[in-house]
Structure 1
Amino acid sequence: MSTTGQVIKCKAAVAWEPGKPLSIEDVEVAPPKVHEVRIKVVATGVCHTDWVNLYETGKGMKFRPFPLVLGHEAAGVVESVGPEVTNFSPGDKVIPLFLPQCFDCDRCRSPKTNLCKKNWENAQVGILADGTSRISCNGQQVYQFLGVSSFSQYTVLSDASLAKIRDDAPLDKVYLLGCGVSTGYGAVVNTGKVEKDSLCAVFGLGAVGLAAIMGCQIAGAKRIIGIDINPDKFEKAREFGATECVNPKEHSRNIQEVLVEMTNGGVDYAFECVGSPAVMGGRVCKKCLN
């Protein structure tokens, strides 16, 4: 039976207040409005950003309203579309984008930024374009996270916050493109612009770090050093392209000194994939050292 135009009742993990565990609740997801799309979430990841916004809101993090449905790294299928949506149809496989692009505002038209003025500012305070959320629980509005809220079986997003993918794409794998892979790979290819035969160091071998290593390998780096305090991650890092791995705990010296000695002067590119620049122990790039 078609659910187009109707409120969908489903399960969602709701954060009722900061610092408290998520609660599985029955929620109502309203139909999409103008330039909005409702999707069925098939797969979602738990990103460190979700944890930070639950447990560190108010501790240096920008305030976010509660109750809130977290989640932003996901993949799903379009259930229905709102008025004036032309790029998506029911049944399309999609990946939500927590950094939307309307391609119309001055920021989206600028080659120097992708923080959409129309959508990003609303996403920061848990609402969509009309100033409200499409998710509610027992009559109470539940705010949306980064315009996505993938910790719900269904969610509504701006059509600027979705990317259509191939019909044969395995959703249980490609959901990582929504955050972890695009963050690490994009840092290497788009921001760092790693060159062939370069020396690279990647700090932190989680999803973002592995994606960065993959980007370095594809870019043609001749030496890729993975750094992590958990040696259990080294095998996977090598599968993704690391030529060698280093555990800072196995050295009495600062990791900066270790890398400078290993590379005879420092690396060409260093990528911090932990979320704390202090883990690098100082400057490790040749251009910084020189």
Structure 2
Amino acid sequence: MEHNSIARPIRCKAAVCKAAGEPLEMEEVEVAPPRAHEVRVKIVCTSLCHTDITFWRMKDGPSMFPCILGHEAVGVVESVGEQVQEVAVGDTVVPVFLAQCGECADCLSPRSNLCSALPYRPGMPRDGTTRFSLAASGEPVHNFLSVSSFAEYTVVDVAHVVRLGGDALPPEQACLLGCGRVHWVGAAWKVAAVEPDSTVAVFGLGAVGLAVAQGSKMRGATRIIGVDVNPDKFEIGKKLGVTEFVNPNDIGEQTVSEVIKEMTGGAGADYCFECIGSVSVMAEAFKSSRIGWGKTVVLGVDGSAAPISIPSFDIMRGRSVVGSYFGGIKPKDDIPVLANKCLHKELELDEFITHRMGFDDINRAFDLLAQVQCLRCIIWMDGAEQKAGA
């Protein structure tokens, strides 16, 4: 096992974000050796997430630029720092933005997945510093969400690393376990705990909603109603478990909640998932839920932080609203379970991969996702793994 006492700085290529909304610039960066509790990882492939887009556009992010974005990836451990025991050089790992130290009250409780020992902070989790610098000038480059996968090598705290053992999962599938796919499937699996034979309504059939639908199907839901204004989403929705569709543009004077109640004999859906980030849609999802036990799970984030308007009388009658952070998933415990489900075809990931390209084309991936032309784009660091149809 190579500890940082003999590891040396590595110079490699990284896509550096220097200003909000500007194209990323390919730069040679120096990646420092891992310190105690840290792992240096050679990235095999990474994916682009809407969270990357959000921060890329953010003009007033604290200590943001220059930075290396990216937080969905898979890689191989190149070296480890002192006090790292759970992974070794050569292990395949998925870095994740959510820590699991395994020792704090939250990590030891089944009620929480928010590690209280290592809450999110800019920089490395334990000291707030960065392991990146521009090779030409030595200027520090900030890391992002404790991962920074838009680089050929990155340094990640061991609390943010999940080892994948056993049978090999294809890298482009393993990559998607690092953020969105886990979060959204987990919302149905862990947060809502969807029950067999239940009815689910999913508001928004982007990558979020489609994964929620798949997670609901995996949990045994028999009716999954997809709500979206884009009819093109309906066909892929069918492949991932959606059984019925509602287009808000095609229902005249009715509201979506009225239509869903009609479809369910006046009862409403057992579980509603808001996957858009609109407070008005959150309220409509709540109205679509069943009196007595209906549960509404909010996954979308409203940028204005506006409050949700929900009548207190309806809360009193048994409905509830909950949030979902990383789908309630504890990374080290649950990601290997999901990886196993992928291997046994219980969880489908290939339908979410709509584009593939090499690292040098990463700005094209930003354009595609910003223009809502893809669900997930896999970016291969060496460019040699691109598939036909990218």
Alignment partner of 1:101: what SS? Answer: coil
CA shift for structure 1 position 76 = 1.1
> 1:173 and 1:82 mapped to 2: Cα distance?
28
Moved more, 166-175 or 213-222: 166-175
The verdict on how the C-alpha distance between 1:44 and 1:276 changes in structure 2, with shifts beyond 3 A counting, is: farther
Is 1:38 matched with 2:37? no
CA shift for structure 1 position 64 = 5.0
> 1:195 and 1:246 mapped to 2: Cα distance?
22
On the 8 A contact 2:200/2:272 being kept in 1, the answer is yes
Q: Which residue of 1 aligns with 2:185?
A: 185
> 2:261 and 2:283 mapped to 1: Cα distance?
11
Q: Which residue of 1 aligns with 2:57?
A: 55
On the 8 A contact 1:73/1:150 being kept in 2, the answer is yes
Unaligned runs of 5+ in 1: none
- Large movers: runs of 4+ above 3 Å: none
CA shift for structure 1 position 281 = 5.7
Q: Which residue of 2 aligns with 1:77?
A: 76
Alignment-mate amino acid for residue 276 of structure 1: S
Q: Deviations over 1:218-259 (max 9, x none)?
A: 111110011222222222111111112222222223222222
Q: Which residue of 1 aligns with 2:290?
A: 286
On the 8 A contact 1:94/1:163 being kept in 2, the answer is yes
Unaligned runs of 5+ in 2: 295-313, 318-390
Q: Percent identity over the alignment?
A: 48
Is 1:127 matched with 2:127? no
Alignment-mate amino acid for residue 272 of structure 2: A
Q: Which residue of 2 aligns with 1:114?
A: 113
On the 8 A contact 1:77/1:92 being kept in 2, the answer is yes
Q: Which residue of 2 aligns with 1:222?
A: 222
CA shift for structure 1 position 204 = 1.9
On the 8 A contact 1:44/1:151 being kept in 2, the answer is yes
Alignment-mate amino acid for residue 124 of structure 2: I
Alignment partner of 1:231: what SS? Answer: coil
Moved more, 35-44 or 113-122: 113-122
CA shift for structure 1 position 87 = 0.8
TM-score by length of 1: 0.90
Q: Which residue of 1 aligns with 2:263?
A: 262
Q: Which residue of 2 aligns with 1:160?
A: 159
Alignment partner of 1:259: what SS? Answer: helix
CA shift for structure 1 position 79 = 1.1
> 1:47 and 1:278 mapped to 2: Cα distance?
24
On the 8 A contact 2:120/2:145 being kept in 1, the answer is no
Alignment partner of 2:232: what SS? Answer: helix
On the 8 A contact 2:199/2:271 being kept in 1, the answer is yes
Query: 1:165-244 residue pairs with structure 2 within 5 A?
Result: 165-166=164-165, 168-244=168-244
Alignment partner of 1:176: what SS? Answer: helix
> 1:205 and 1:93 mapped to 2: Cα distance?
32
> 1:271 and 1:64 mapped to 2: Cα distance?
34
CA shift for structure 1 position 140 = 1.1
Alignment-mate amino acid for residue 85 of structure 2: T
Query: 1:142-157 residue pairs with structure 2 within 5 A?
Result: 142-157=141-156
CA RMSD of aligned residues (A): 2.1
Alignment partner of 1:25: what SS? Answer: strand
Moved more, 10-19 or 214-223: 10-19
On the 8 A contact 1:204/1:273 being kept in 2, the answer is yes
The verdict on how the C-alpha distance between 1:118 and 1:222 changes in structure 2, with shifts beyond 3 A counting, is: same
Moved more, 157-166 or 15-24: 15-24
Query: How many residues in Structure 1 have an aligned counterpart in Structure 2?
Result: 284
Alignment-mate amino acid for residue 58 of structure 2: E
The verdict on how the C-alpha distance between 1:207 and 1:26 changes in structure 2, with shifts beyond 3 A counting, is: same
CA shift for structure 1 position 208 = 2.1
On the 8 A contact 2:124/2:157 being kept in 1, the answer is no
On the 8 A contact 1:107/1:117 being kept in 2, the answer is yes
Moved more, 2-11 or 89-98: 2-11
Q: Which residue of 1 aligns with 2:19?
A: 17
On the 8 A contact 2:36/2:84 being kept in 1, the answer is yes
CA shift for structure 1 position 121 = 3.1
Alignment partner of 1:19: what SS? Answer: coil
> 1:223 and 1:91 mapped to 2: Cα distance?
44
> 1:270 and 1:64 mapped to 2: Cα distance?
37
Query: 1:2-13 residue pairs with structure 2 within 5 A?
Result: 5-13=7-15
> 1:127 and 1:118 mapped to 2: Cα distance?
13
CA shift for structure 1 position 110 = 3.5
CA shift for structure 1 position 11 = 1.5
TM-score by length of 2: 0.68
